[in-house]
Amino acid sequence: MKIKLTLCVLLLSFSQLFADSMTEGFVRKTLKNGLEVCVIQNHLVPLVTLEICTRNGSFTEPPEYNGLSHLYEHMFFKANGAIPSQEEYLKRIHELGINFNGSTHEEFVNYFFTLPSTNFDPGMKFMSDAIMTPKFDENELEKERHVVIGEFDRDQAQPLFGLQEGMDSTVWSAYISRKTPLGVRPTILSATQEQMHTIQHRYYIPNNSLLIIAGDVKPEEAFAEAEKYLDSWKPGPDPFKENPIPAMPPLQSKQLVVRASNIPVAVVEQEWHGPSVGTDNKATYAADVFSYILNQSTSRFHKKLVESGLAMGIGVNYQTQHYVGPIVAFMQLQPSNLVDAIKTMHSEINHWDDDDYFTDDELETAKHILKVQHLYEAESTTSYTHDVSFFWASCGFPYMDSYLDNVEKVTRQDIKNYVDTYIKGKNYVLGVGMSEDNIKAINLNPSEILQ
């Protein structure tokens, strides 16, 4: 353990040598219309990434809109007020040398173009036209409905889709639409132009958006371009005052979800409602650090379940979110070990707040691994823009700016408080996925395994 700790310290020191150069020029400004602009300088290669992010996604979706933030994402790359057709849009992409994509998450949607820095100005115009003047052509909307359904079908074809769907339905109950960006088939297929315009006017406004300009560009040039092309983007009312996000009700009991899956092993997931950014920030840092402790091959949790032969693999994850971040513990194992492995996992969870559950070295190693990973992710400017989008949307820039410092401050007591507040003795959903034959053979008894 001491050797591993020393290695992590060396890696962190090595990364710190480059930390200043990676964040040099990380400058932020807010335009008059409320648009936040973030510039990240990196002059190593003559490329610039333009990323626009908005606080949209499944957390804004009542059932009748579930999946439409994702459909809107697809419609972003279509005809607009300046580009008359999809063919012309793709032609302009080719002319400017743009590599592009977008993604939809629970609490944000982002779009990104990477192109030669010599094309920065026309690239800014191209993005501003897409964000400000979408057409939502009915023929293109019809095509994209089926493209999105194709993604849904591919997900549905995955062996563990049924288990995940069952878990989500149980963990989030009536508010499942707020936690599932992929959406549901009927809503996607019946999406209308009017709904696209509603999303646009409600959420795609400058005072609910972030523009990131990253790469071979100077801040003064970047801010001037942002003002040139996006200063005319009209702000709107705060979408979350007019359409507040409902509070997620706590889990009322311990529940078991079993789903048949065409896999040769058994998969176990146990999920709790975890801390929310803005409500209990201190617990979110503790959650990250403790997850890294548990996931190391030297941890007691790993030894009790994997080295013992009960499980083939285990993991614990906390997903940072503003509106209830889930905590998930998972295992892959032979079906014959299922009951014993679940009982052992529960026994270990009951000891997670013990003073001696992990060593000082394990605590410090987890902090250093988190720091090194965070710094290494910043080395790829294009990828780093996605991290910035996430932090801005779900956490806010103050959280991002102080993240590493707060990780370093995590104590044993912080982890104990986190475990006692969100995990130990709290309600959860336990999910099991395995073959139909194994479900019949094992015949799980909820009263035996829900502790």
pLDDT recorded at residue 16:
38
What is the spatial distance between Cα 273 and Cα 327, in angstroms, rounded to a whole number? 6
Is residue 437 left, alpha or beta, with left meaning phi > 0 and alpha meaning psi from -120 to 50? alpha
pLDDT recorded at residue 13:
36
Which domains occur in the chain, in start order?
20-242 (3.30.830.10), 255-449 (3.30.830.10)
pLDDT recorded at residue 210:
98
pLDDT recorded at residue 23:
42
Cα–Cα nearest to 389, from 132, 106, 96: 106
Is residue 309 left, alpha or beta, with left meaning phi > 0 and alpha meaning psi from -120 to 50? left
pLDDT recorded at residue 25:
53
Q: 179-204 burial, b if ≥16 CB within 10 A, otherwise e? A: bbbbbeeebbeebeeebbeebbebbb
pLDDT recorded at residue 6:
33
Q: 152-161 burial, b if ≥16 CB within 10 A, otherwise e? A: beeeeeeebb
Cα–Cα nearest to 356, from 313, 293, 307: 293
- Residue located via tokens 């201190």: 282
Label each residue of the chain as H, E or C.
CHHHHHHHHHHHHHHHHHHHHHHCCCEEEECCCCCEEEEEECCCCCEEEEEEEECCCHHHCCHHHCCHHHHHHHHHCCCECCCCCHHHHHHHHHHHCCEEEEEECCCCEEEEEEEEHHHHHHHHHHHHHHHHCECCCHHHHHHHHHHHHHHHHHHHCCCCHHHHHHHHHHHHHHHHHHHCCCCCHHHHHCCCHHHHHHHHHHHCCHHHEEEEEEECCCHHHHHHHHHHHHCCCCCCCCHHHHCCCCCCCCCCCCEEEEEECCCCCEEEEEEEECCCCCCCHHHHHHHHHHHHHHHCCCCHHHHHHHHCCCCCEEEEEECCCCCCCEEEEEEEECHHHHHHHHHHHHHHHCCCCCCCCCCHHHHHHHHHHHHHHHHHHCCCHHHHHHHHHHHHHHHCHHHHHCHHHHHHCCCHHHHHHHHHHHCCCCCCEEEEEECHHHHHHHCCCHHHHCC
- Could you tell me if 314 and 418 are in contact, meaning their C-beta atoms sit under 8 angstroms apart? no
Strand partners, 111: 52, 102
pLDDT recorded at residue 379:
81
In tens digits, the chain (451 residues) has pLDDT values of 333 333 333 333 333 333 333 344 589 999 999 999 999 999 999 999 999 999 999 999 999 999 999 999 999 999 999 999 999 999 999 999 999 999 999 999 999 999 999 999 999 999 999 999 999 999 999 999 999 999 999 999 999 999 999 999 999 999 999 999 999 999 999 999 999 999 999 999 999 999 999 999 999 999 999 999 999 999 999 999 999 999 999 999 999 999 999 999 999 999 999 999 999 999 999 999 999 999 999 999 999 999 999 999 999 999 999 999 999 999 999 999 999 999 999 999 999 999 999 999 999 999 999 999 888 888 888 889 999 999 999 999 999 999 999 999 999 999 999 999 999 999 999 999 999 999 999 989 998 899 7
